[in-house]
Structure 1
Amino acid sequence: MLVSKVTSRSQTTLPNGVRKALGIKPGEDALEWEIRGDAAVARRASVEHEEEDPALAPFLQLLERDIIEHPERLSGLPENLYRRWMALTDGMEGDPDDPIEGPVAL
């Protein structure tokens, strides 16, 4: 049995044997947890679980319904906003699928 200690900040290090057995790559992969009574089962998370947001599907359905029922509410991006956006990002490269680093305030 592999054991790891939980720190005072509720953090732990995933033992090397577990990382190897599950094919976990530090900084790339995630774990998903399942609680079974007084036990927790951890497994490598699939990409679809990493991105899963329980509020997203209902929100998209609401948005779709509103667009279908009220197409007159749709409008394009104003030209001046588009030009400003393009000027601010000129020469910048980025992948929208890259993880966001650092704190994010919404």
Structure 2
Amino acid sequence: MPATIEVESTLTDRYQTTVPETVRRALGLGKRDKIHYSIRASGEVVLTRAEASEGEDPVLEHFLNFLERDIARHPERVRPVDAAFVARLQSLVGSVNVDLDAPLSEDDE
């Protein structure tokens, strides 16, 4: 890879821009990823990919992005959930109570 790659983008009237593909690839950015800006005393601005905050689940985000792309590429695969399927699920787990705030047991970790 060359030492320096230069690309440009244009600001819209609302001060928005598209991040060029070269930059997205270099930073490993995907849809809804966050960009971190470091502004140096010299006026230079450095863009980096923002680290996920503690509340975010990067695996879930990648899975949801995968689903979004798959649905967009193959909308014919999307099927409605019928009442019989919902009834079957409820018969299997309807009486199970789950406390999402409870700590995991040693077996579950």
- Asked whether the two chains share a fold, i.e. TM above 0.5, the reply is no
TM-score of Structure 1 vs Structure 2, range by shorter chain:
0.3 to 0.5
TM-score (norm 1): 0.42
